[in-house]
Chain A
Amino acid sequence: MADFEIKADEFADITDVVCPVTFVKTKVALEELDDGQILQVHLNDGEPVQNVPRSIKDEGHQILKLIDNEDGTYELFIKKVGD
Chain B
Amino acid sequence: MAMDYATLKKGGFMRQKQKNHFSLRLSVVGGQVSTEQLAAITEVAEKYGHGYIHLTSRQGIEIPFIRLEDIDEVKEALACGGATPGVCGPRVRTITACQGSAVCPNGCIETEELAKELNDRYFGKELPHKFKFGITGCQNNCLKAEENDLGIKGGVRVSWIQDKCISCGLCVKQCREGAISIEDGKITIDAEKCNYCGRCAFACPTDAYDTVPGYLISFGGLFGNQINKGTLIVPFVEDKETLFAICDAALKFFEDNAKSGERFKFTIDRIGKDKLDDVIWEAYNRKNK
Contact = CB atoms under 8 A, between A and B. Distances in A.
B170 A1 contact: no
B165 A63 contact: no
A46 to B, nearest CB: 9
Size category of the binding interface on chain B:
10 to 19
A62 to B, nearest CB: 8
Interface stretch (B129-137, B197-205, B261-269): B197-205
Contacts of B271: none
Interface in A46-82: 49-50, 53-54, 56-57, 62-66, 68
B203 A66 contact: no
Given A1-B166, A1-B167, A63-B166, A50 B205 contact: no
Contacts of A56: 205
Contacts of B166: 1, 63-66
Contact of B174 (A1, A50, A68): A50
Given A1-B185, A50-B174, A66 B169 contact: yes
B202 A53 contact: no
Contacts, number: 37
B176 to A, nearest CB: 12
Given A1-B185, A63-B206, A53 B168 contact: yes
Contacts of A66: 166, 168-170, 205
Given A64-B166, A65-B168, A66-B168, A57 B206 contact: yes
Nearest to A56: B205
Interface in B168-191: 168-170, 173-174, 185
Contact of A63 (B168, B169, B174): B168
Main secondary structure of the interface of B (DSSP, over half): loop
Contacts of B204: 54
Contacts of A62: 206
B173 A54 contact: no
A50 B174 CA distance: 7
Contacts of B206: 57, 62-63
A68 B169 contact: yes
B169 A50 contact: no
A50 B185 contact: no
A68 B172 CA distance: 13
A21 B169 CA distance: 23
Contacts of A57: 205-207
B202 A54 contact: yes
Given A1-B185, A49-B170, A49-B173, A54 B205 contact: yes
B170 A50 contact: yes
A38 to B, nearest CB: 13
Contacts of B203: 50, 53-54
B198 to A, nearest CB: 13
Contacts of B205: 53-54, 56-57, 63, 66
19 contacts: A1-B165, A1-B167, A49-B170, A49-B173, A50-B170, A53-B168, A53-B170, A53-B205, A54-B202, A54-B204, A54-B205, A57-B207, A62-B206, A63-B205, A65-B166, A65-B168, A66-B166, A66-B169, A66-B205
Given A53-B170, A65-B166, 6 more contacts: A49-B173, A53-B205, A54-B170, A57-B206, A57-B207, A66-B169
Interface of A: 1, 49-50, 53-54, 56-57, 62-66, 68
